[in-house]
Structure 1
Amino acid sequence: MSMIKVSNLSFAYDGSYDNIFENVSFQMDTNWKLGFTGRNGRGKTTFLHLLLGKYEYSGTISANVSFDYFPFHVEHKEYNTIDIVEEICPDYEQWQLLRELSLLKVSDDVLYRPFETLSNGEQTKVLLAALFLKENSFLLIDEPTNHLDLHARKLVSDYLNGKSGFILVSHDRAFLDNCVDHVLAINKTNIEVQKGNFSDWWENKQRQDHFELAENDKLKKDIKRLSEAANRTSNWSHEVEKTKNGTRNSGSKVDKGYIGHKAAKMMKRSKSLEHRQQSAIEEKSQLLKNVESSESLKISQLAYHKHQLVELDRVSIHYGGKTACRDVSFTIEQGDRIALTGPNGSGKSSLLKLICGEDIPYSGVLRIGSQLKISYVSQDTSHLQGDLSDFARMSGIDESLFKSILRKLDFSRLQFEKDIASFSGGQKKKVLIAKSLCERVHLHVWDEPLNFVDIISRMQIEELLLEHAPTILFVEHDSEFCKHIATKTIGLR
């Protein structure tokens, strides 16, 4: 057992005025299974790169272990998979590799196929197997769940549950709960480490947030009461002071010494109340530092003139002599929230694109309602670039509403000034989701919208869909999201 100690860490990217980390200190045990969470853009991947020594920083990071990072960069994807593994871990033993692949339910024949011919799920599993061939390393695992289907996520989560000595960045709540024993959280103003899984951490955070909000309300009332009392006492002292130069109602001379003493006592009381008020204000400023803004979002979907929007009857999709999916039948009716599930390669994305009007070869019957308006969120964010205002204008959406939604999804105003191309993967996804929410349509079609999106934002989007009940067809591998949202599930084989 050894410790990784972080002391007074501060870091900002070159040319940036805002620090990503500022004087943060904590420590981690190298035997822990550590889940790493925090909102998009808070610096999770940046911190992993700091551990790897990629950037200069102030403060200290001390560790008696080396670090290895997942996902590995694979330069020659045309090479056989076994050659890729040898590049990553030259000293591995064959039996060790076969053991790891067996745990991940990957057939060893993939080793003798070109890496580029493997599915996304197979590639992820092979690279994870290679990662755990590393000995005496603390492993930095950055979002391994993206593009893994539900079955593969459960399998990889069970695999990691049998390991130790890693930091895992993931936004999948069920995945984290199954395989971590500590949580490292980047909050708004600090980094904290807690024992337990994600649900334990979230419960503690909600309890702390509720306590601080209650204390904040109480202090606001105290400040108002103290402020009113101080103003009254100050006014009384001034009124009493004025009588020193006047006469009593009876006509006798006033006792200036007595009145001056009384005025001084009232002024002293006023100063005391003012001091207590200032203390209360300072105490209030210590609260709410890490309470996340998770305001509810708004959506206004158009009503369609018919109950049924889309119908598929024995639809099969064909690509270059291959069949992506076969004999798919279902309907989309107003108010449906349909989760389209199935393993990778079962044709889910192809079906979504077909419904959205792409020219995809198919057989069977597809009926799409006349003048049906659809908003589509694709998996791909690589095309996003330029200014947010220009993006809103080119997309034909209300810029103020668009930016308001992004603000609620934890975008800072400073973020609005940056090129979209420089955004994190999660921030780019939020741009596409916010755009979709601004579009006046009858049906939302979302293809893996939550890849890279942080957990708190996922919960906000869940609340939105439950509150406003739009008609939506979606593909998503986050089991918690599907469980909470879907009114129907269509499974592809």
Structure 2
Amino acid sequence: MQLLKLTNIKHYVSARLLFEVDHLHVSDKQIIGLVGDNGSGKTNLLKIIEGSVIPEEGVIERNTKIEIVPQLKRISDEKSGGEITQSYIQDALNQSAGLLLLDEPTTHLDFKHIDWLKDKLNEFPGAMIIVSHDREFLSTMCNEIWEVADKKIKVFAGGYQTYIEEKEKLKRHHDLEYEKYEKKKRQLQEAIKAKEEKATRATKAPTRKSASETGQIGAKPYYANKQKKLRKTASALETRLEQLEKVEKPAKEEPIRMQVYKEETLKNRIIIRGKEVSGSIGNKTLWQAFSFNISSGEKLGIIGPNGSGKTTLLEKILKQTPGITISPAVKIAYFTQQLTILEDHLSILDNVKLSSSQDETTIRTVLARMHFFNDDVFKLVNVLSGGEKVKLALAKLFLSDVNVLVLDEPTNFLDINSLQALEELMQTYQGTIIFVSHDRTLLENVATQIFSIEDQEVEVFDGTFKEFINRNTEHKRDKIKEELMLIENKIADVLSRLSLEVTPDLEQEFQNLLAQKKKIEAQHNK
């Protein structure tokens, strides 16, 4: 059953076409991921589907009740982001809608609340359209992707991973088509040049001629006719060249090599030490005392539930509170969502140059990664959107004359393309990065060390995020095996007693133990 049909939709913002839709439809139980750059119109499309925004052209056919879960803009002092999102989701589900629209539902959520959200949405019997920059969330939830790009909406059947693979195939196909185009163009250009050269030579009299040759009747008309034919052939080739369907050159990203302050001095050294560092706010304990070392070049991911003290740990490192020692050669740059490092009255380029001694080519290359191309770099900061300011602040930090970057939730408000660009910068950066994130994909692709804060304890793990998760899984499985062995021993004891005398109490105990064993086995098989 089709719950929604969009036909010949055109939507404008200040007389500028934002996007157009030839034909889109949503069927029952479809879960669609809506992706695209910030400002491409994703939220506007949701509002058009819901009915709160009317498109300038087109027809919308709604065959079910539609509810929208808006993007969480602020966190209240009384409630966490997770609690507010839970409230939004529950309110929407209570409306018995057939189509649910979710705008960045994972923003401000920790792992626990993201997992709760997945479970809750998996129980929803209808269809969904989800705008999200959380790649792991999209991979888990979606069975179709709508991409907003170049003012069009393209549909990719399959989940998010299939979409990424299809995009890579399209890129390879584009590269191949460009190579074919360039080869054909060169062949035609070389053929034209050869014909023109022959035509020029055809008008020249031979340098050595016999008397009889000189007197030959019709020599001049022969050469003139030959030249005419050659020029006609050259002209036909030029027409073919002009009519050759142009293939745009694929964008090639050059590798980035950013200079890092005193990189060689700090190489292979421990640059930050923590000894018996505890955390608290007022009388509330955040974590018990723990010790740690951070080496140069490490990519340290700090994880934990909201309110567990991740930002407090960053602040302790930045302020070098008692118990924390930092090498004198270390220079730190700090990213927060307040974006206080930007000067509104300066251009994008001048903002970066204020704190960077990198050459302009490197600066422009990094800015281009964050989608500030060509003359964009001369825009003043005060005309940029919130998302653009976040991208500029991050680019500015990576190009600064420092060797340690401290990033507190750097992925908030970034679209997927910008997030992937940030990920690449983090991977290629030769200095040290300490970052807080709930983005599982970013952690998996970047982190080389993990600090996990949970239940007032900080676990220091030297390894990748995937290794950390697998380690916890193995630990959990070992614990389940121990519980299973204990239950089996108890069952053996009860059976031994039942063989001597059958009583109602023993029989009940035996049934209870069997039920416990079945429950533990189910956990073990997950």
Both structures adopt the same fold (TM-score exceeding 0.5): yes
Amino acid at match of 1:70: V
- 2:22 aligns with one of 15, 18, 25: 25
1:196 — aligned with what? 158
User: 1:219–1:393: structure 2 CA closer, same or farther, 3 Å change rule?
Assistant: closer
5 Å-filtered alignment, 1:80-229, equals 116-136=77-97, 138-163=99-124, 164-188=126-150, 190-229=152-191
Deviation of 1:141 after TM superposition, in Å, equals: 1.1
Q: Deviations over 1:200-231 (max 9, x none)?
A: 01101101111111220221122112112112
Q: Is residue 232 of structure 1 aligned with residue 194 of structure 2?
A: yes
1:109 — aligned with what? none
Q: Which moved more, 1:45-54 or 1:383-392?
A: 383-392
1:460 — aligned with what? 421
- 1:330 aligns with one of 292, 295, 298: 292
User: 1:422–1:345: structure 2 CA closer, same or farther, 3 Å change rule?
Assistant: farther
2:281 — aligned with what? 319
User: 1:384–1:372: structure 2 CA closer, same or farther, 3 Å change rule?
Assistant: closer
User: 1:157–1:128: structure 2 CA closer, same or farther, 3 Å change rule?
Assistant: same
- SS of the aligned residue for 1:463 comes to helix
- 1:269 aligns with one of 233, 239, 242: 233
Amino acid at match of 2:445: H
Root mean square deviation of aligned Cα: 3.3
Amino acid at match of 1:333: S
What is the rounded CA distance, in whole Å, between the counterparts of 1:165 and 1:333 in structure 2? 48
- SS of the aligned residue for 1:312 comes to strand
- 1:379 aligns with one of 337, 344, 354: 337
5 Å-filtered alignment, 1:47-86, equals 47-53=45-51, 57-64=55-62, 65=64, 67-71=66-70
Q: How many percent identity over aligned positions?
A: 27
Answer yes or no: is the 8 Å Cα contact 1:26–1:191 preserved in 2: no
2:247 — aligned with what? 284
Q: Unpaired runs of 5+ in structure 1? A: 78-114
Q: Which moved more, 1:333-342 or 1:125-134?
A: 125-134
1:46 — aligned with what? 44
- 1:253 aligns with one of 217, 237, 241: 217
Q: Unpaired runs of 5+ in structure 2? A: 455-526
Q: Deviations over 1:111-169 (max 9, x none)?
A: xxxx7522211211221121222334533211111211123223323333343422111
User: 1:367–1:350: structure 2 CA closer, same or farther, 3 Å change rule?
Assistant: same
Q: Deviations over 1:257-292 (max 9, x none)?
A: 544443333223212222222233x2424xx6xx67
2:258 — aligned with what? 299
- 1:369 aligns with one of 327, 350, 358: 327
What is the rounded CA distance, in whole Å, between the counterparts of 2:238 and 2:405 in structure 1? 55
Give the TM-score taking structure 2 as reference length: 0.74
- SS of the aligned residue for 1:284 comes to coil
What is the rounded CA distance, in whole Å, between the counterparts of 2:446 and 2:175 in structure 1? 28
- SS of the aligned residue for 2:297 comes to coil
Q: Deviations over 1:221-255 (max 9, x none)?
A: 221121121122133234435669xx998212334
What is the rounded CA distance, in whole Å, between the counterparts of 1:140 and 1:284 in structure 2? 38
What is the rounded CA distance, in whole Å, between the counterparts of 1:465 and 1:404 in structure 2? 15
More relative contact order, 1 or 2 (CA 8 Å, 6+ apart): 1
What is the rounded CA distance, in whole Å, between the counterparts of 1:53 and 1:381 in structure 2? 35
Answer yes or no: is the 8 Å Cα contact 1:229–1:273 preserved in 2: yes
Q: Deviations over 1:308-349 (max 9, x none)?
A: 221122222232322233323211111211111111111001
1:308 — aligned with what? 270
Amino acid at match of 2:146: L
Rg bigger for which structure?
2
Answer yes or no: is the 8 Å Cα contact 2:343–2:351 preserved in 1: no
What is the rounded CA distance, in whole Å, between the counterparts of 2:221 and 2:72 in structure 1? 86
Give the TM-score taking structure 1 as reference length: 0.79
User: 1:381–1:465: structure 2 CA closer, same or farther, 3 Å change rule?
Assistant: closer
Q: Which moved more, 1:370-379 or 1:442-451?
A: 370-379
What is the rounded CA distance, in whole Å, between the counterparts of 1:431 and 1:239 in structure 2? 60
